[in-house]
C-alpha cells in the first residue's frame, strides 16, 4: 500500500464536471483511495450549504474548507473545531461605500447562510439559492449588521482591475481579494490572510500528514496557495495559466476525469 496521503479537492472545474456532477469513475477512484487509507477532503470557495451535497455523495467524514478558508469545520465531528473568520462589518460597509465611485451591478455579502443583496438580482439569486439561504435585499450600509464571511462585487470585465486596485490601496491590510473566471466577472473578498491552504494546514496538522504527502487539485486562482502548500499541487488541463505555472504537474480536464486518472496512476489503485 502507498504511504497515506491527504487529498484535497477543489469542486468547480476540478472534481465536478461542467454539468456540476461527479463522474462514476471519479467516485470509484476516490472510494478506492479511501479504502486504502488515504484521506480525502473538499476545499472550495463555495459555502457549505452548496457543497454539502457532494460531501454526502462521497460519504466523507473529513474536515471541509469553505469560503476559500473563511469557514473550516468537520460536519461529522463537532469536537474537531469550527473556524469562522469573517470580515469586520465596518470594513464591509466601507467597501460598499467605496464601490459607489465605480460602475458595478451588485454587491453580495454572505454571513454564513444569510445572503444580503445590495440590489435585487434574479440572475445572481439563482446561483445563491442552493441550500435555501435567508435572503435580504437592500442597501448593505443599512441592512448588513453582522460580520460577513465573504463579499462579492459583480461588475463588468473592464471594471475589475480598477476596483481591485482601489481595494488594494485602501484595505490591503485587512482584506484579500481575487476574481472569478468568466462568464461571471466577480471580485470575491475575504479577511486578509485567508485561503484554502489555511484549511489544508489545519487538516494536515490534525491528521499528522506532512505537506510532502498532500495532493491538491485545482484550476483557478483561489487554488494557488493550496497547490503551492501541497507537496504535489496538480493543475487541471482546463485550469488558468497561473495555476499551471505553480503546479508540480498537470492532469487531464475535469471533463476527462483528470482527478481520477491522476490518483489511479499515482497511488496504483487499479480501478
Bond preceding residue 183 cis, omega within 30 of 0: yes
- Contact (Cβ atoms closer than 8 angstroms) between residue 97 and residue 166: no
In the annotation, is 10 catalytic? yes
CB 68 within 8 A of CB 86: no
Q: In the β-sheet with 175-179, what is the strand arrangement from edge to edge? A: 134-137, 114-117, 106-111, 150-154, 186-191, 175-179
The closest of 194, 230, 234 to 45, measured between CA atoms, is 194
Q: What is the C-alpha separation between 208 and 135, in angstroms, rounded?
A: 40
Task: Given the residues 10, 12, 176, 223, select the one marked as catalytic.
Answer: 10
Interacting residues of 2 by C-beta distance below 8 A, sequence separation 6+: 36, 38, 266, 267, 268
Spatial separation of the C-alpha atoms in residues 11 and 270, rounded to whole Å:
24
The catalytic site residues sit at 10
Amino acid at each position: 500500500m502507498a504511504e497515506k496521503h491527504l487529498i484535497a479537492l477543489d469542486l468547480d472545474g476540478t472534481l465536478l464536471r461542467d454539468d456540476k456532477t461527479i463522474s462514476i469513475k471519479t467516485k470509484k477512484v476516490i472510494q478506492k483511495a479511501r479504502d486504502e487509507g488515504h484521506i480525502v477532503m473538499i476545499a472550495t470557495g463555495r459555502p457549505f450549504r452548496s457543497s454539502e451535497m457532494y460531501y454526502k455523495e462521497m460519504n466523507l467524514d473529513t474536515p471541509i474548507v469553505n469560503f476559500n478558508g473563511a469557514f473550516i469545520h468537520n460536519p461529522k465531528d463537532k469536537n474537531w473545531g469550527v473556524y469562522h473568520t469573517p470580515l469586520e462589518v465596518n470594513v464591509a460597509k466601507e467597501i460598499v461605500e467605496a464601490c459607489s465611485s465605480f460602475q458595478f451591478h451588485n454587491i453580495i455579502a454572505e454571513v454564513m447562510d444569510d445572503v444580503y443583496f445590495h440590489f435585487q438580482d434574479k440572475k445572481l439569486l439563482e446561483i445563491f439559492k442552493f441550500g435555501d439561504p435567508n435572503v435580504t435585499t437592500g442597501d448593505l450600509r443599512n441592512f448588513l449588521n453582522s460580520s460577513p464571511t465573504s463579499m462579492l462585487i459583480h461588475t463588468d470585465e473592464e471594471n475589475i482591475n480598477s476596483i481591485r486596485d482601489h481595494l488594494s490601496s485602501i484595505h490591503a491590510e485587512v482584506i484579500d481579494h481575487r476574481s472569478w473566471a468568466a462568464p461571471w466577472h466577480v471580485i470575491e473578498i475575504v479577511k486578509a490572510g485567508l485561503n484554502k491552504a489555511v484549511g489544508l494546514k489545519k487538516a494536515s496538522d490534525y491528521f499528522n500528514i506532512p505537506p510532502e504527502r498532500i495532493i491538491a487539485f485545482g484550476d483557478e486562482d483561489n487554488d494557488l496557495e493550496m497547490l503551492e502548500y501541497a507537496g504535489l499541487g496538480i493543475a487541471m488541463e482546463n485550469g488558468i495559466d497561473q495555476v499551471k505555472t505553480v503546479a508540480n504537474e498537470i492532469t487531464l480536464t475535469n471533463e476527462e476525469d483528470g482527478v481520477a486518472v491522476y490518483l489511479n496512476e499515482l497511488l496504483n489503485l487499479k480501478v
